[in-house]
Chain A
Amino acid sequence: MNRNRGHIQPWIALVGLIALFAMPLDSADPARLLVREGPAGWALVAVMAAAIIAAIRARRSLVAAGLLALAAHGGAAMAIGLLPSLAGHAGSGFWALVLTSWLLAWALVTELSEWPRRPGLPGLVLSLLIPFLFGLWLLILWQIVVVVFEVPFVLIPPPSAIGTRIASSLPILAADFRQTFLKAVVAGYAIGCGSGFLVAILVDRVSFLKRGLLPIGNLVSALPIVGIAPIMVMWFGFDWPSKAAVVVVSTFFPMLVNTVTGLSASQPISRDLMRTYASTYWQTLFKLRLPEAMPFVFNALKINSTLALIAAIVAEFFGTPIVGMGFRISTEVGRMNIDMVWAEIAVAALAGSAFYGVVALAERAATFWHPSFRT
């Protein structure tokens, strides 16, 4: 309670509030002040002042957090609403508004981070809220900076334009997602991880494979995707099987190497125990070595979940039917439709994170006993 670390933001926000009260929003029009923008301007200043006072006075209070959230996002909404009329000539008052809102959001996240962890739904909501606020403010600042400085559209479009594009192109995005993710990635991932796992068991059993195949495997895993993708197109045709083949090649070896390592992870004492029971090879494999290898296997599954998506998208750069996320990115770049490229990137990021999240959840369920998860 005595620590005041991290609570300097409200004080700076107070300075910012005074600045945004007194300084012009528009560098071309010194008379344009926030408080002259109508009742909304006054209301915002009042809420910000209340939030700053609440944040300075109270710690871990729901009222302070609520006021901070209201003030920060009210300020952001106001700033974004003012954007079209200020592009290229924003004044110091506008920057004071942005800075103050951002500081209040920072104070809010600091405040939320200090709340004690709670079990159940409230804890889950809180743990999701903090990264959500982080991401939201990234988008808000991106929007403001890109519009105010009139950054060319082909370099970086504002998030609002990307959002509009996503909303208007849902059928195309869905078709691309089906082609690239649901066909190429899922099939390639399943075959690549599955065969890597089975070959690892074989390699572990047969020592000449361990000495012969693993070094070659390292060589193959170093092959660039851009190199093998055109060859796979020649072997498997233009449609998704050639992309799945590239995914297989890039996911096979991470799984192989990790599983081989995992299979030798069991302690000598555990193996001796199995020996005293006169356990067979397969009994030891299923009852000791595979469970012990699971953390390694899941490591590979997690690495491969993102690797597979990258591989499938890049592979589509080398010839596809006229559908697919990689196809869309490469053609829309050529047509200067950068907002569509970003829309595909957003879908890929979302799909990749969700995929990774599902694998991570499965990992928690399967290796709950591992020291890193024990509760």
Chain B
Amino acid sequence: MTGEGTSGKKSESPAIAIAGLSLVFNTNDGPVQALSDIDLEVKRGEFVSFIGPSGCGKTTLLRVIADLEQPTGGSITVNGVSPEEARLARAYGYVFQAAALYPWRTIARNIALPLEIMGLTRADREKRVADNLALVDLAGFERKYPWQLSGGMQQRASIARALAVEPELLLMDEPFGALDEIVRDHLNEKLLRLWDRTQKTVVFVTHSIPEAVFLSTKIVVMSPRPGRVTDIIECGFPRHRSLDIRETPEFLAIAARVRAGLRAGHSYED
């Protein structure tokens, strides 16, 4: 706990504060420990990545933050309140692994979907849709249907939809996992510029080491069975950075530390 977190005032509380959190799924094969004793604090405006192999609970942890799963132990607050209250206050913009655009809605109306639910006026909706489409370089595709767009464009539309909510937290679950390397690099740079411009808190799940190191101010390394945090690495790269930094010694040093953390998590399996 930092000093500002204990003050109790909502505006000064950390974006996410997790202490001793655990989650047990009751499956037909008996209980499965998905998360075990997680401690994590994310400050406002940070870009945090969860990295780890499949089954390490990184997606589950993100879902707990978004109030899509209920923890079975420990405590979690988001902006000083429970995840449920934060969800009802519409603090989240969630980007899923798949774009999850509704095929019966045009791109513009897909982005307007959360705005309709929030009860915004038509004029407000149209403005936010136009702004956010421009932000992800999709201006001109308003009237297309999702299935008429490439996978990368669909995922950009889903990011625009999450941003249109103007959430305090942007939660992204391997949003670029299904895309090729070149599109992925491009979207990583775009995402970084968006984060810089909007000053949002971003929590980003990935299993790509370069992606995590390039994007993050903080990398949370996780390991499976049971899902737990093995290392938390701070990255001090400037907010304005290009893909070139991936060649620098500092970048490679952090990447090596992430890799070592992942390997340590894996070793007991062999």
Chain A residues proximal to chain B, CB less than 8 Å: 267, 269-270, 272-279, 283, 287-288, 291, 294, 367-371, 374
Contacts and interface: CB of A to CB of B under 8 A. Distances in A.
Contacts of B176: none
Contacts of A367: 104
A270 B102 contact: yes
A291 B68 contact: no
B104 A291 contact: yes
A277 B90 contact: yes
A267 B100 contact: yes
Contacts of B100: 267, 269-270, 273
A275 B68 contact: yes
Contact of B87 (A270, A273, A275): A275
Contacts of A269: 96-98, 100
Interface string B92-109: 111011101011100000
Interface in B164-202: 165
B117 A287 contact: yes
- Chain B CB within 10 A, most for which of A278, A287, A374: A278
B165 A277 contact: yes
Contacts of A267: 100
Contacts of B104: 291, 294, 367-369
A100 B147 CA distance: 50
A306 to B, nearest CB: 27
Contacts of A294: 104
A374 B165 contact: no
A288 B102 contact: yes
A204 B63 CA distance: 26
Contact of A272 (B94, B102, B116): B94
B264 interface: no
A318 B114 CA distance: 55
Interface size class of B (residues with CB under 8 A): 20 to 34
B113 interface: yes
B159 to A, nearest CB: 13
B147 to A, nearest CB: 6
Contacts of A274: 117
B111 interface: no
B145 interface: yes
12 contacts: A272-B63, A273-B94, A273-B100, A275-B87, A276-B66, A287-B116, A288-B102, A291-B104, A294-B104, A367-B104, A369-B147, A371-B147
A16 to B, nearest CB: 51
A293 B118 CA distance: 24
Contacts of A369: 103-104, 145, 147
Interface in B45-103: 63, 66-68, 87-90, 92-94, 96-98, 100, 102-103
A330 B98 CA distance: 59
Nearest to B118: A277
Given A269-B97, A371-B147, 10 more contacts: A269-B96, A270-B100, A272-B68, A275-B67, A277-B90, A277-B117, A278-B89, A287-B102, A369-B147, A370-B103
Nearest to B68: A272
Nearest to A284: B117
A279 B117 contact: yes
Q: Which 4 A-B pairs have the closest CB atoms?
A: A369-B103, A369-B104, A276-B94, A277-B114
B96 A273 contact: yes
B145 A272 contact: no
A272 B96 contact: yes
Contacts of A279: 117
B27 to A, nearest CB: 16
Contact of B92 (A276, A283, A287, A371): A276
Contacts of A272: 63, 68, 94, 96
A279 B113 CA distance: 10
Nearest to B167: A276
Contacts of B103: 369-370
Interface string B112-156: 011011100000000000000000000000000101000000000
A370 B117 CA distance: 24
Contacts of B89: 278
A369 B102 CA distance: 9
Contacts of B116: 283, 287
Contact of B68 (A276, A370, A374): A276
Nearest to A275: B68
A371 B88 CA distance: 34
Contact of A278 (B87, B93, B98): B87
A270 B105 CA distance: 13
A370 B146 CA distance: 12
A287 B113 contact: yes
Nearest to B145: A369
A275 B68 CA distance: 8
Contact of B90 (A278, A288, A374): A278
Interface string B248-264: 00000000000000000
